[in-house]
Homo-oligomer: A and B are copies of this chain.
Amino acid sequence: MKTLNVDLGERSYPIYIGQKLLSQAELLTRHIAGKQALIVTNETVAPLYLEKVAAMLPASIQHHAVILPDGEKYKNLDVLNKIYDALLTHAFDRSVTLIALGGGVIGDMCGFAAATYQRGVNFIQIPTTLLSQVDSSVGGKTGVNHALGKNMIGAFHQPQCVIADTDTLNTLENKELSAGIAEVIKYGILGDEKFFQWLEINVEKILSRDPATLAYAIERSCQNKADIVAADETESGQRALLNLGHTFGHAIETSVGYGGWLHGEAVGTGMLMAADLSARMGWLNKTDVDKIRHLIKRANLPLRPPQNLNKADFLALMLRDKKSLGGVIRLVLLKKLGHAIISDNYSTEQLHATLDHFLGEEI
């Protein structure tokens, strides 16, 4: 087992990465301060791991589970309310610990419930998808979607710990694994060129779920994320780099309807669009754009948005991004492979060219 630390002063916490972690009850119980716990999971994950996680809790901790429907389209205020219902029905108090058992949707919703139940209670992340292990479970971003925009309602709320058991990835669908790899590739592109080169060699081993390769990819991704989050917890600056591919990606996700594309799939295509615009600006060279496209392709991720998206609608969705300020879309773009920047200093004409290229019929 590898332990990384997210260094946030009194809100610091460990990330445990490795195999068979759900058999080590102590990893969980040492982070539960009170005598009450609510496990938040979904219909897909519950049959696989709920019993195992519940068995980690001793009889002295009163615990229940709430099982939500599975999918991004259920990440909303109505479904969130089911967590509050469960907490109040069991008369759980401020000492309760919430345990998020599932992917990014479960982690975000459970974390937001923890941020807001009685104005804030503890929670623990047990991510069971590659995407949540490398990205969404770390860093304290929590929230739900609104019909008019993704992740528009939320809070920063750090967990007590993250338990990333790589064995849980064995039950993951291939499509979900690829979506997770998109976020792994992201860390390489935005700031860790050596990791990108390692991925160029090892992406097929990740797809075949080789435990050691998976563990290294998760560890290096989490280390990258932990460093960025520690430097900028509430995204007043550099943390926004983690949004590489997300402004384009969120527009895709919202266009096709929540759940139509997996978040990681949209981020993969979004990164290609960001790379394309960066190349049109003369920042990124053609060879690196091709390298990025090739790696995304080998990860079995889509290379373009679905057809029939309207450019004006797409731009309006991009403008709803949380980085936008004063009617200007701010984007994470690439000065070179391994060096991302946050910029509103791109040419609007080139942005249109990128959109025409990706939204048009030929590509």
Please list the residues of chain A having a beta carbon within 8 angstroms of any beta carbon in chain B: 34-35, 77, 80-81, 84-85, 87-89, 91, 93-95, 115-120, 141, 143, 146, 148-149, 152-156, 234-235, 316, 319-320, 322, 324-327
Q: CB-CB < 8 A to A319: which residues of B?
A: 91
Q: Are A35 and B326 in contact (CB under 8 A)?
A: yes
Q: CB-CB < 8 A to A152: which residues of B?
A: 84, 87-88, 117-118
Copies in the complex: 2
User: How far is B155's CA from A143's CA once the two chains are assembled, in angstroms?
Assistant: 13
Q: Are A93 and B141 in contact (CB under 8 A)?
A: no
Q: Are A148 and B88 in contact (CB under 8 A)?
A: yes
Q: CB-CB < 8 A to A34: which residues of B?
A: 325-326
Interface pairs (22), CB distance under 8 Å = A34-B325, A35-B326, A84-B153, A85-B148, A87-B152, A88-B148, A88-B149, A88-B320, A89-B148, A91-B316, A91-B319, A91-B327, A93-B322, A93-B324, A94-B325, A115-B155, A116-B116, A118-B322, A119-B154, A119-B156, A119-B322, A120-B155
Q: CB-CB < 8 A to A143: which residues of B?
A: 116, 119
Q: 7 tightest A-B contacts by CB?
A: A88-B148, A119-B154, A118-B322, A116-B153, A93-B324, A93-B325, A77-B77
Q: Are A93 and B326 in contact (CB under 8 A)?
A: yes
Q: CB-CB < 8 A to A146: which residues of B?
A: 81, 84-85, 88
Say how far A156's CB is from chain B's closest CB, in angstroms.
6
Query: For A115, A116, A119, which residue has the most chain B Cβ atoms within 10 angstroms?
Result: A119
Q: CB-CB < 8 A to A119: which residues of B?
A: 141, 143, 154-156, 234-235, 322
Q: Are A155 and B153 in contact (CB under 8 A)?
A: no
Q: Which residue of B lies closest to A78 (CB)?
A: B77
Q: CB-CB < 8 A to A93: which residues of B?
A: 322, 324-326
